[in-house]
Amino acid sequence: MGLRIKKNDTAIVLSGKDKGKKGRVISVKPSEDKVIIENVNIVKKHMRPNRQYTQGGIISKESPLHISKVMLVCPKCNKPTRIANSFIDADRKVRVCKKCKEVID
């Protein structure tokens, strides 16, 4: 089964400490069924000084969420929605909003 959320989609969190927050999907990890959403599920990480972080210290970064905890937000109707797959021209598969029947891709 393919994932229905892709990079640069807008998603909303359904459960957990960040319930109700919206954000842009930064990355998708299909092998782990996880997504990283911008400014959601922020964790603090203690970093040693290295080439990238010369000073070191405590940094804040986004942590992955399970894909079952997020839902795609339709760009047309701006509501969280489930996704249907539809075929255009019998060879091109696209994602369709179940609420407003608008093509998302």
**Cβ proximity of 79 and 104 under 8 Å:** no
Q: Which domain holds residue 45?
A: 1-50+57-73
Residues 13, 29: one domain? yes
Instruction: State the pLDDT at residue 2.
Output: 62
Instruction: State the pLDDT at residue 91.
Output: 85
Q: In which band, very low, low, confident or very high, does the pLDDT at 3 lie, cut at 50, 70 and 90? A: confident
Number of domains in the chain: 2
Instruction: State the pLDDT at residue 54.
Output: 87
**Cβ proximity of 104 and 75 under 8 Å:** yes
Give the span between the Cα atoms of 45 and 61, in whole angstroms: 7
Give the span between the Cα atoms of 103 and 74, in whole angstroms: 9
Give the span between the Cα atoms of 29 and 22, in whole angstroms: 19
Instruction: State the pLDDT at residue 52.
Output: 85
What CATH code is carried by the domain that includes residue 43?
2.30.30.30
Once rounded to an integer, what is the mean pLDDT over residues 67-93?
A: 92
Tokens 């954000």 identify what position? 23
- For residue 36, give the amino acid letter: I
